[in-house]
């Protein structure tokens, strides 16, 4: 089951990402952006970056070639962090972003694939085959680097690009205080999900007879 979910996650993730690029870049260029600007716009979304990371985890574990190209993504601790990040993608989209637009056609398909299907597959795979009790509480501080770096990038880019990837990060429209509250809320959610992930990972490790303190790093 674990390998089946990895294959499904890899294939569906790639389909979603390629399709999203195929429709977003031409649409952005039609709106007056250059090719480079359109590509930067696409890769400015946390959803896209996190789905790429999930695909890289699957690729690194499915083949020796993938492991050679992306060895860091095969580590248990990193995959747990990505499980947290892609859960954040799902929760924020369902609770906030899905109410702000109504995608149609291929945009709707990409919306479903990248916000619902790939998070479900990745987290289910992690629970079944990826978690083993090897995470440590200090890993949370490393996982936090990703969302904080992304937040810094989005806020620094905004004045130059004249746009933000997500409406709740728009300082010009919402004000610095509102953005600070929103960013703090998302950060708190990420920390809460991280704590839950470590607890679940340790629980799974104990169920498998592998206490957290004794778990050794290994590829699955």
- Whether residue 220 is predicted with pLDDT greater than 60 in this model: the reply is no
Check residue 215 and give its pLDDT: 40
**Do 136 and 81 contact (CB within 8 A), yes or no?**
no
Boundaries of every domain in the chain: 2-214
- Whether residue 201 is predicted with pLDDT greater than 90 in this model: the reply is yes
Going by pLDDT thresholds of 50, 70 and 90, the confidence category of residue 67 is low
Question: Quick check: helix, strand or coil at residue 44?
Answer: coil
Question: Quick check: helix, strand or coil at residue 70?
Answer: coil
Question: In this structure, how many other beta carbons lie within 10 angstroms of the beta carbon of residue 147?
Answer: 21
Q: What is the pLDDT of residues 155-189, one digit of tens each?
A: 999 998 888 999 999 999 999 999 999 999 999 99
Check residue 219 and give its pLDDT: 39
**Do 127 and 2 contact (CB within 8 A), yes or no?**
no
**Do 113 and 55 contact (CB within 8 A), yes or no?**
no
User: At a CB cut-off of 8 Å and minimum separation 6, what does 187 contact?
Assistant: 144, 147, 148, 151
Q: What is the pLDDT of residues 102-130, one digit of tens each?
A: 888 999 999 999 999 999 999 999 999 88
In angstroms, the CA 196 to CA 49 distance is 22
User: At a CB cut-off of 8 Å and minimum separation 6, what does 220 contact?
Assistant: 2, 61, 129, 130, 132
**How many angstroms separate the Cα of 105 from the Cα of each of 66, 79, 109, 111?**
33, 32, 7, 10
Check residue 210 and give its pLDDT: 63
């Amino acid at each position: 089951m674990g390998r089946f979910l990895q294959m499904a996650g890899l294939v569906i993730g790639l389909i979603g990402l390629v399709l999203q690029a195929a429709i977003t870049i031409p649409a952005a260029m039609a709106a007056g952006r250059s090719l480079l600007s359109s590509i930067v716009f696409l890769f400015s979304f946390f959803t896209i970056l996190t789905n790429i990371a999930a695909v890289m985890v699957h690729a690194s574990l499915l083949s020796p070639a993938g492991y050679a190209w992306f060895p860091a993504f095969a580590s248990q601790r990193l995959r747990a962090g990505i499980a947290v990040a892609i859960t954040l993608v799902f929760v924020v989209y369902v609770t906030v972003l899905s109410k702000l637009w109504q995608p149609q056609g291929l945009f709707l398909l990409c919306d479903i694939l990248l916000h619902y299907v790939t998070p479900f597959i990745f987290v289910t795979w992690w629970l079944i085959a990826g978690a083993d009790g090897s995470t440590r509480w200090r890993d949370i501080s490393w996982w936090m680097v990703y969302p904080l770096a992304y937040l810094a990038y989005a806020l620094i880019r905004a004045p130059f690009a004249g746009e933000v990837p997500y409406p709740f990060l728009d300082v010009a429209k919402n004000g610095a205080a509102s953005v600070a509250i929103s960013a703090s809320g998302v950060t708190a959610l990420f920390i809460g999900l991280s704590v839950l992930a470590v607890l679940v990972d340790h629980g799974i490790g104990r169920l498998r007879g592998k206490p957290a303190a004794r778990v050794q790093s290994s590829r699955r």
